[in-house]
Amino acid sequence: MLNLLITRKLPDPVLDKAREVFDVTVRDNTAPLSRDELIQSLSAYDVVLPTLGDAYRADIFDAVPEKRTKLLANFGVGYNHIDAVAAWAAGIEVTNTPGAVTDATADIALTLMLMTCRRAGEGERLVRSGQWDGWHPTQLLGLHMSGKTLGVVGMGRIGQAIAQRAHFGFGMAVKFYNRSAKKMPFPAEQVAELTDLAAQVDVMVIAVPGGAETHHLIDAAVLNAMQPHAHLVNIARGDVVNEADLIDALTQSRIAGVGLDVYEFEPKVPQALIDMENVTLLPHLGTAALEVRTAMGLMAVDNAIAFAKGQPLPNRV
């Protein structure tokens, strides 16, 4: 029987399925693997099921001359914590869990869009503070999101699910910026330049993968191009946005507000963001629903099982 390391506790049905095929070790720690654990994992396990923050960089593969691991079956669609090119060079396959995360993450994007546009976090803090003195017509006026223009940066699975919700649910016009040309099954205009998209929309949502290609894609130039009444939402990866530039833009009221699920130096959140009322902060909730985490886990385990049976990997990255 091959052995399998699962780097964080996962829902029981996932562990049960994995145990049908593998000798399973479930690591009892919610933090990402340390450097020592990363190195040790590659010499001790046939398959590793890692997740967010388990940083399998090139130097980790280099540090293990005799690698036992043949597959990193990532839990999550985003795998920017794994250097996949270095993994392949080391003879290790990498899989992920596309699709299982799409609707739940799009729902969190809509949550953040509404929260930032309608000042919901600020309103909730007001009620909880005991300082709310009752309704009046000019209190906490936000941006009416229905019928406005949405800009999607990265029109992939999640970007499209966000755009569909915004278009069909909120009557929003949709514009998008994407690496390759794409046609949507609903009205949506592709804009060639990111700064042009930024200038044309009321709400801009980031849905590109993390990694070197998208690092700091959203910088001062893009933020400066946005309209002062516009809001930014990031559900992708924190370092897609230059957080220092974002803080400057908010401090100087160059944009109206921001909704974040992810952070550049996660889980560190800058005090400057915490201190601003027009900043909505969620703790990386994109896929945080039991049935979604179960579906993601089962998908990751399916990849591991396919490997164990010598079958083609369903979700090779």
Return residues touching ligand NAP (CB under 6 A).
77-78, 98, 101-102, 105, 154-159, 177-180, 182, 207-210, 213-214, 235-237, 261-262, 284, 286-287
Task: Report the nearest approach of ligand NAP to the CB of residue 124 (Å).
Answer: 21
3-state secondary structure of 315: coil
| Catalytic hit among 167, 216, 284, 316 | 284
Q: How far apart (Å, rounded) are the C-alpha atoms in residues 189 and 172?
A: 12
Task: Report the nearest approach of ligand NAP to the CB of residue 301 (Å).
Answer: 18
Q: How far apart (Å, rounded) are the C-alpha atoms in residues 74 and 100?
A: 13
For 161, the token pair is 């699910």
Q: How far apart (Å, rounded) are the C-alpha atoms in residues 223 and 241?
A: 10
Task: Report the nearest approach of ligand NAP to the CB of residue 246 (Å).
Answer: 17
| Catalytic hit among 27, 68, 118, 266 | 266
Ordered strands of the 23-26 beta sheet: 23-26, 3-6, 47-49, 71-73, 93-95
The residue number whose beta carbon is nearest to ligand NAP equals 156
Q: How far apart (Å, rounded) are the C-alpha atoms in residues 201 and 151?
A: 6
19 is catalytic: no
Task: Report the nearest approach of ligand NAP to the CB of residue 292 (Å).
Answer: 9
| Catalytic hit among 8, 81, 165, 237 | 237
Task: Report the nearest approach of ligand NAP to the CB of residue 111 (Å).
Answer: 11
Instruction: Select 111 or 178, whichever has its Cβ closest to ligand NAP.
Output: 178
Instruction: Select 98 or 297, whichever has its Cβ closest to ligand NAP.
Output: 98
Bridge partner residues of 75 (DSSP): 51
Q: How far apart (Å, rounded) are the C-alpha atoms in residues 315 and 297?
A: 13
Instruction: Select 42 or 155, whichever has its Cβ closest to ligand NAP.
Output: 155
Closest CA to 217 of 250, 247, 240: 240
Q: How far apart (Å, rounded) are the C-alpha atoms in residues 208 and 192?
A: 15
For 64, the token pair is 């293990």
Task: Report the nearest approach of ligand NAP to the CB of residue 165 (Å).
Answer: 14
Cis peptide before 11 (omega within 30 of 0): no
237 is catalytic: yes
Instruction: Select 220 or 285, whichever has its Cβ closest to ligand NAP.
Output: 285
> 35-64: b or e for each residue (b if 16 or more CB lie within 10 Å)?
eebbbebbeebbbbbbbbebbbeeebbeeb
Q: Which residue has the tokens 């999607």?
A: 152
Task: Report the nearest approach of ligand NAP to the CB of residue 102 (Å).
Answer: 6
Q: How far apart (Å, rounded) are the C-alpha atoms in residues 289 and 100?
A: 11
Catalytic residues: 237, 266, 284
